[in-house]
Structure 1
């Protein structure tokens, strides 16, 4: 019976979810193709119709979203991660289906957006519906929701490894056999179905490229510029979000104007229309001059900002790859090396800057292009891009780690954190001494129901010198050493908070150390108490949501 349950949970259910993910990706492609056929009937392949029709596409999205009471905020990967990691589901079915339909319509009519956000949400919606119908227990729900999201992404982009890593790196934040087996099964099944019906093709053609060590300094430039443009991109989106709320009564007219501007940009630079992978293929065939590549990058950047800023639905993965490749190609032309290498590296760097997921970004680019020989430079630039972004805003490096602990970083939370201090969350836990016998420590663990105890020098000298854990006692017992003192088994110089630790320091500790309590010391390093992490998390989560 136990074996059958394992087969059911690890193989059969993930297979069914993978089938749902595979066919959802096929449906998505068909809807995009149908929308493109409709657009061509109107336009007759005349690009002037982008200027004429695009304002009405934007206005249509605004009107439908408003009539159906769906938030115009775009579906982001972080939103999906929050739904799974924090809320354990609760996908909005109406919004999921609406976003799928509108995104298909938008891409078919040339709006410069991508597919991954909507298809990921659809995968989550379908897997949640399946779990509810068959009454899957809640302990497995986050895993199967992640399977749905990853399988849909895998089938859409023909990138099963990147999809599995997406589930591990972004959504669940952990890895073990009980997680990785269902993820691999569902993503593999979805990819096989997609390849059966859509073919096994790379998203865009890239010749086999190689890099030289002397190119690395220029990779740093690409990382830095990708970080700057990513920061600018999200700053502009936040500005438009504020702008949309302030002028919500006029937003229909404003979105119409934005649509006209995007249509005008596409008319001047038709390469930026839709997903744009055919233009990326042309770039890797040296089909653009460096100056034209820069112009296309700038126009795509502006068009994407205006599209997402207006509330048009779509994904950011394809636009990020597009912009990064054209920016990298332009930068690479300043060297004596092949600019196509820098285009490929730039695509990974820009994608990493937008998604804040360096490993996933690297694998997506490698899988999409089959250029495995460029793993090192793509991974290097992806990681460095995230580092440069973190240099401007350190909490961005902790964003996903905090999300896995139930904390979503936003401006509202940051403002509220400024009023919090360590003293609010201090729990009075009596310390033990260096000279305490481990038998006393064992009694304390059993009576106080804690896993960590602070260690001070003596009753008179409360200088913190270490921390002793249940694990330390376990190791002593395994080695059959029972006549020991705390000093011999404790962890010396533990990480601590001070009474004046700023909110950013608290967030770092909470994100990086999965413990329930952290020692707090005063300016003289004397032990004060234990910082209650769970109390802190409870308060800021409640403040963020209410």
Structure 2
């Protein structure tokens, strides 16, 4: 219910954000008051167009200085950091400052998309709601992810891609308890898109034909090349960001420097100004000339990389798709001219380039594929997208340590999970790791006798179990109590024993055992057989649990041939090996 409530609110905010971007654009470039979309590329300001992004960037810098520094940046990395380090707590002010600052930055010509700000805004709204209600940090993370991805779904009408964005970049888990609330929120966001925005695909394009096998190979090759481009793009963005760190002026003025670059590039290449969704539609239509495509690819990248590195407020998805789409279309033109016999479609090349760039730069593999399909409604693009995104993803994994989303937080020492594996503590049972022959102390030994024993055999545990000769476990003895100077060494161990009520069954998971240990502050648990009236079987200690991690890692990383064969097959293989040995010179 909380997730759906956040989705309803963020859908309305998404409409307000887009309208606000249009309003600022109309005022800045056309001196008109209106909420209809007009591309800043059609402005007639001349050289004055250089000043407009600078003014917007100065306003954003002041908002960051006197409002919250957290409004700077892409949006998604900041949300990821709060999930990983701050129990999904985001300041409520971000829910207001982020959309306003982004609308000003984008509306004055910033080469960003609206998706980053709305994701950050939705995340902040969800986190705020999670802080107001009595929920756990994990539940707050789910509400945060629901708000963030519902915002993306409201902007683009892509609920399935938004769900996988949450899984790959925010939740870091794959479970029903998290997916269901997020899915309901994304469905709500999509309903908001259909109600508040235009119907149909966000990026309409000509109908795509089913590609041939040769064309599939070409599209996969384009994906590999775009994957290499995504490496260079990511490294250059952070190189520019590092360069800004060395500029001897206050960081508040960095966005203004970036705005000056945006305005200068926008004067020579007006298509680079603003959010640029119309550029993506033009690329996917296949009607742009090769010169315009190359110009858009190069100048959009320069403008976006400098602006993003300066620390202003905006998203990365739309610029990545524009640059990737232009790269794919340019490669499609080149390969079509080199191999005129192949049925290479320029719109398809742009589509796979767009998706492959996002897959390579962010490693949001499934999100990239599903977003391209949902935003264009072109199901025939599935196989080319799979091939291209797989190629780009593999290039990114092999040649780049971090992604454009994780590099910033990795520099702060935050590790981002890159795999979703079953919980080892739930997978392993107590019987698999318990100690069946532990060291016990007799209750009738004197303290002096036990001290002499441990003097010759240094203790490996902090506590030891005390067991009757009949097999009944009476409790535990602490090493600290045993070697207490005030202890009467002539007394029996019974005098310092502590009862233990906590126990575990041999078929229980290790996660339950650790929970009981932590709750009762015991170093080990007594293990009993799971059958009714089960007998005492042994002990489970923290050391056994740690050892289980080591053993499991070794078993999963050990290589070898493990083909199961019956006896007859083994005899045939052995006979074959002997025959081959007899033929050797």
TM-score by length of 2: 0.66
The offset of 1:520, in angstroms, is 11
Map 1:62-211 → 2, pairs under 5 A: 62-68=61-67, 70=69, 73-210=72-209, 211=211
Instruction: Find the counterpart in structure 1 of residue 212 from structure 2.
Output: 212
With 247-256 and 82-91 compared, the bigger mean Cα shift is at: 247-256
Instruction: Find the counterpart in structure 1 of residue 385 from structure 2.
Output: 378
Distance 1:127 1:446 in 2: 52
Note the aligned Cα RMSD (angstroms): 3.8
The offset of 1:139, in angstroms, is 4.3
Distance 1:252 1:439 in 2: 58
Distance 2:432 2:143 in 1: 45
Distance 2:162 2:122 in 1: 12
Distance 1:440 1:114 in 2: 52
The offset of 1:240, in angstroms, is 2.5
The offset of 1:134, in angstroms, is 3.0
Instruction: Find the counterpart in structure 2 of residue 502 from structure 1.
Output: none
- Aligned length in residues: 430
Residues 284/223 of structure 1: CA separation in 2 closer, same or farther (3 Å cut)? closer
Map 1:93-492 → 2, pairs under 5 A: 93-210=92-209, 211-249=211-249, 255-334=255-334, 335=336, 336=340, 337-393=344-400, 395-396=401-402, 410-411=410-411, 413=413, 443=436
Contact map agreement 1:358 1:379 (CA 8 A) in 2: no
With 254-263 and 84-93 compared, the bigger mean Cα shift is at: 254-263
Contact map agreement 2:130 2:139 (CA 8 A) in 1: no
Residues 139/358 of structure 1: CA separation in 2 closer, same or farther (3 Å cut)? closer
**Unaligned 5+ residue runs, structure 2?**
33-41, 416-430, 441-459, 462-506, 511-528, 535-545, 558-585
Contact map agreement 1:96 1:118 (CA 8 A) in 2: no
Instruction: Find the counterpart in structure 1 of residue 19 from structure 2.
Output: 30
Residues 256/521 of structure 1: CA separation in 2 closer, same or farther (3 Å cut)? closer
With 368-377 and 241-250 compared, the bigger mean Cα shift is at: 241-250
Distance 1:31 1:518 in 2: 55
Distance 1:298 1:318 in 2: 15
Q: Secondary structure at the match of 2:550?
A: strand
Distance 1:158 1:53 in 2: 31
The offset of 1:259, in angstroms, is 2.3
Q: Secondary structure at the match of 1:517?
A: helix
Residues 71/240 of structure 1: CA separation in 2 closer, same or farther (3 Å cut)? farther
Residues 294/439 of structure 1: CA separation in 2 closer, same or farther (3 Å cut)? closer
Q: Secondary structure at the match of 2:285?
A: coil
Among 550, 555, 563, the alignment partner of 1:518 is 550
The offset of 1:194, in angstroms, is 2.5
Distance 1:183 1:15 in 2: 8
Residues 45/230 of structure 1: CA separation in 2 closer, same or farther (3 Å cut)? same
Residues 90/278 of structure 1: CA separation in 2 closer, same or farther (3 Å cut)? same
Q: Deviations over 1:308-334 (max 9, x none)?
A: 012221000011111111111111012
Distance 1:439 1:412 in 2: 39
Distance 2:300 2:267 in 1: 12
Residues 413/105 of structure 1: CA separation in 2 closer, same or farther (3 Å cut)? closer
Contact map agreement 2:269 2:299 (CA 8 A) in 1: yes
Residues 180/521 of structure 1: CA separation in 2 closer, same or farther (3 Å cut)? closer
Q: Secondary structure at the match of 1:62?
A: helix
Distance 1:380 1:410 in 2: 29
The offset of 1:250, in angstroms, is 6.0
Contact map agreement 2:11 2:154 (CA 8 A) in 1: yes
The structure having more radius of gyration, on CA atoms, is 2
With 384-393 and 241-250 compared, the bigger mean Cα shift is at: 241-250
Distance 1:294 1:439 in 2: 61
Q: Secondary structure at the match of 2:207?
A: coil
Q: Secondary structure at the match of 1:443?
A: coil
The offset of 1:291, in angstroms, is 2.5
Distance 1:248 1:358 in 2: 39
Residues 166/285 of structure 1: CA separation in 2 closer, same or farther (3 Å cut)? closer
Residues 51/341 of structure 1: CA separation in 2 closer, same or farther (3 Å cut)? same
Q: Secondary structure at the match of 1:112?
A: coil
Residues 55/201 of structure 1: CA separation in 2 closer, same or farther (3 Å cut)? same
Q: Deviations over 1:455-490 (max 9, x none)?
A: xxxxxxxxxxxxxx9879xxxx99xxx9xxxxxxxx
Contact map agreement 2:54 2:259 (CA 8 A) in 1: yes
Contact map agreement 1:18 1:187 (CA 8 A) in 2: yes
Q: Secondary structure at the match of 2:249?
A: helix
Q: Deviations over 1:82-117 (max 9, x none)?
A: 322442212133344322111111222221111222
With 70-79 and 351-360 compared, the bigger mean Cα shift is at: 70-79
Residues 440/517 of structure 1: CA separation in 2 closer, same or farther (3 Å cut)? closer
Q: Secondary structure at the match of 1:148?
A: helix
Instruction: Find the counterpart in structure 2 of residue 18 from structure 1.
Output: 7
Among 29, 36, 39, the alignment partner of 2:28 is 39
Q: Secondary structure at the match of 2:89?
A: coil
Contact map agreement 2:57 2:255 (CA 8 A) in 1: yes
Contact map agreement 1:62 1:72 (CA 8 A) in 2: no
Distance 1:200 1:444 in 2: 70
Residues 141/254 of structure 1: CA separation in 2 closer, same or farther (3 Å cut)? closer
**Unaligned 5+ residue runs, structure 1?**
1-11, 416-437, 450-468, 483-513, 526-546
The offset of 1:135, in angstroms, is 2.7
TM-score by length of 1: 0.70
Q: Secondary structure at the match of 2:86?
A: coil
Distance 2:553 2:179 in 1: 41
Distance 1:258 1:183 in 2: 36
